[in-house]
Amino acid sequence: MDFESSIDFLRDKLLPNRLIRVLGSTSDPNLAVQIFRWASVQKRFHHTSETYCQVILNLGINGKIEEMEGFLDEMIKRACPETEDKFVFVIEALCKRHRLKEALRVLKSVHSVNCKPTLVPHNLLLKYMVEENDLNSVCFVYKEMVKAGIVPNVETLNFIIEILIKTGRVDYAMDQFSRMNKKGCDPNIRTFEILIGYLCEKSCVDDALRILDVMLTANCSMNLSSSNNIIGSLCKVNKVDEAIRVLELMKGSGLSPNVLTYSLLIGSLCETCKIDGAVRLLKEMIGSGFTPDSAIYTFLVDGFCREEKFSEAIVTLEENCVTWLAPYDALLQGFCNKSMFQEAIFFLQRMIGCGFADSVSWNILVRGLCTKGETATAMSVLNRMIVSSYQPDGGTYSSLILGCCKVKNYEDALEIFDWVMNKDWVLDDIAYSELVDGLCRAKKIQEVVKVFEYITRKGCILNVSLFNNMIGEFCMIGRVREAIKLRSSAFFHGISSDATTYATIISNLCNENKSKAVLVLFSQILKEGCVLDERIYCLLIQAFCMDDKINNAINLLNKMNSDGFSPDNETLITMLSYLTNHAKMHMVVNILERVVSVGEYLNSSLYNVIICGLWKEGLKNKACDFLDRMVEKGYVPDVATHSLLTGNASQEDLNGFMETTEDPLMDDVVSNILVEGLGNN
């Protein structure tokens, strides 16, 4: 509605509720103010707290804070009736629309004109601010309460504890918990739910149990939701005995457990091999008039199978006339997990006779056999499956491929894969991974490419580790070009490369002296946003040196150092040799000083190279500084360096210095042996 149509609607019958309806339907805050002001000058019309709240809400929702505050002041000065309730309405409405900043301004305005509100709007704001993890705003509201002399209640303190917990300030939260009594509040069930839930989530089990002991003796009023959350938290950390104590406390306080309560406890008892306790709870649950669902019976079957009580599992299903398929499939899986395949086949036949089996049931048996390498038996089961009019699917053939790979029968695995391709089915991730990994190990590279292309076409994604294995196999047999194409194809299909992928390719390119190809790959690394690690930095620096791009190498060395990495000896000797031969050692002096200053390891050969390079370029003071550091490390200058420093080295000796450091690592070992020998004397 525009202004004119709004006025036409209100002119004949201007009442507060009609004005509120018009303001509520207006999304334009400026139009809302214009209509409000028009109504203000009409004879025999007086604004109510409701009309003020509506225009304040319009402004707040649209972020018009200054205008909103003006109407708040006006509303308070007019002393509209039931102002407190209306503030609560505005604050809640703004919070629901995630306008916490505006809601906070409403509260500020109330405090600024000495209109002392009650606890209600403060707790309302705290509730939403905790949901938004806004610690600063929570602290502000709490301070405003204290300044106004408003006494917090247990709900307030629970909000404080919760925000401290959610922002990782556990010690402060525990301090607030311990001081609740001093503030005239006793912790309630929600307090314990917050603390026990968080402590269990962070695996602080001992602390959680201490809080539980306090709760059990606190005689606090229980409610079903919080009690179930506490039981669930304890069950997640396998403290089912303590969870049962909470159940008993619930019963003692007259609170009846529900299906969720029993489900949490029975599931945890089964997972911790306490099947007898789970059966007792099942009987109690049925006796209380509850009907266990499929999940509960599946928990029980899993528990029986863990303890190899297969007969008891069957009796439980039969006695309770269970008709859900999932518990029967769980029992079938239990037989397979224990390699009891004859029993599994017999049980599947019973399931078929009772009408409980489907293709998933058959697939469980096929997968169980294939996982153990029993592919011949699995094929026999597949034939029975087809004869029995059950249709095999991608899951069935995933299992068969897995089984073939387990026994390294890659020819049959590929034959089955061709069948899958013709059907255009999707295999599961495990089958893809096993097939690719097996083909890589068998050096069947062309087949790997075929499988990989199918995987990417179907929108499936290999894990990075397996993808790196593929890249490694290609590079190992000298097919780096294909590895690069494979990486590009993977990126196009959403398969991310990591530092290991790039390092493998770059290392092989460097070995083949293809530095320009490395630089092209480096540009792709930057474009794709891959995080460089120490190995990639080193390889790239070496490639830049090979390609006579020393400035790029120096920039990369600087970036490497700022990222907290240090080059290895091989990279340093490559780079420093280049710098010495081209009289450019001065370009990295500052970087080298930083490397040394943070305690990074340089061997004696590297010190010798640095000193000679600096001396050759006329930076004698810097050379002496590095000599001092070298001696402090316990290294002794070699003959060339010593001759240079004493003035006995010829230019030919200096130019030929790098030829004497062909094996810096071995030279360093010799130096260490000499130092140790001198020390022993």
**Does position 590 have pLDDT exceeding 70, yes or no?**
yes
Band of the pLDDT at 664, cuts 50, 70, 90?
very low
Least confident of 58-62, 408-412, 434-438, 657-661: 657-661
Average pLDDT over every residue of 367-391? 94
Average pLDDT over every residue of 188-204? 90
**Does position 75 have pLDDT exceeding 70, yes or no?**
yes
Band of the pLDDT at 654, cuts 50, 70, 90?
very low
**Residue 29: inside a domain, yes or no?**
yes
State pLDDT tens for residues 57-73: 888 888 888 888 788 77
Average pLDDT over every residue of 184-204? 90
CATH number at residue 2: 1.25.40.10
**H or E element at residue 67:** helix 65-77
Residues 177 and 214 sit within 8 Å (Cβ to Cβ): no
Domain of residue 53: give its range.
1-113
**Does position 367 have pLDDT exceeding 70, yes or no?**
yes
Q: What is the mean pLDDT of the chain?
A: 85
What one-character DSSP code corresponds to residue 613? H
What is residue 672's predicted lDDT score, i.e. its pLDDT?
40
* % of residues, the chain, pLDDT over 70: 92
* % of residues, the chain, pLDDT over 90: 36
CB atoms within 10 A of CB 140: 16
State pLDDT tens for residues 419-458: 999 999 999 999 999 999 999 889 898 898 899 889 888 8
Band of the pLDDT at 83, cuts 50, 70, 90?
low
**Residue 363: inside a domain, yes or no?**
no
Positions of E strands within 157-288: none
Q: Give the pair of three-digit tokens for residue 313.
A: 């599992």
Calculate the dihedral angle through the C-alpha atoms of 108, 109, 111, 113, rounding to the nearest 10 degrees.
160
**Residue 381: inside a domain, yes or no?**
no
| Nearest to 394, CA basis, from 342, 460, 339 | 460
Band of the pLDDT at 533, cuts 50, 70, 90?
confident
Band of the pLDDT at 619, cuts 50, 70, 90?
confident
**H or E element at residue 251:** helix 240-252
Domain boundary among 84, 113, 142: 113
| Nearest to 2, CA basis, from 38, 32, 45 | 32
| Nearest to 40, CA basis, from 10, 4, 79, 2 | 10
Average pLDDT over every residue of 374-386? 94
Give the span between the Cα atoms of 318 and 301, in whole angstroms.
12
**Residue 443: inside a domain, yes or no?**
no
**Residue 57: inside a domain, yes or no?**
yes
Domain boundary among 90, 113, 136: 113
**Residue 41: inside a domain, yes or no?**
yes
Domain boundary among 96, 113, 130: 113
Q: At how many degrees (to 10) do helices 359-371 and 341-354 cross?
A: 180
**Does position 669 have pLDDT exceeding 60, yes or no?**
no
Task: Put residue 223 in one of left, alpha, beta given phi > 0 → left and psi -120 to 50 → alpha.
Answer: beta
**Does position 667 have pLDDT exceeding 80, yes or no?**
no
Cβ-count burial 377-391 (b if 16+ within 10 Å, e if not): bbeebbeebeeeebe
**Does position 676 have pLDDT exceeding 70, yes or no?**
no
Question: Pick the residue with more confidence: 113 or 153?
Answer: 153
| Nearest to 504, CA basis, from 521, 529, 492, 490 | 521
State pLDDT tens for residues 459-503: 888 888 888 888 888 888 888 888 888 888 888 887 778 888 888
Average pLDDT over every residue of 180-198? 91
Q: Give the pair of three-digit tokens for residue 379.
A: 């094929």
Average pLDDT over every residue of 554-572? 85
Number of domains in the chain: 2
**Residue 30: inside a domain, yes or no?**
yes
What is residue 551's predicted lDDT score, i.e. its pLDDT?
87
**Does position 639 have pLDDT exceeding 90, yes or no?**
no
**Does position 147 have pLDDT exceeding 60, yes or no?**
yes
**Does position 366 have pLDDT exceeding 90, yes or no?**
yes
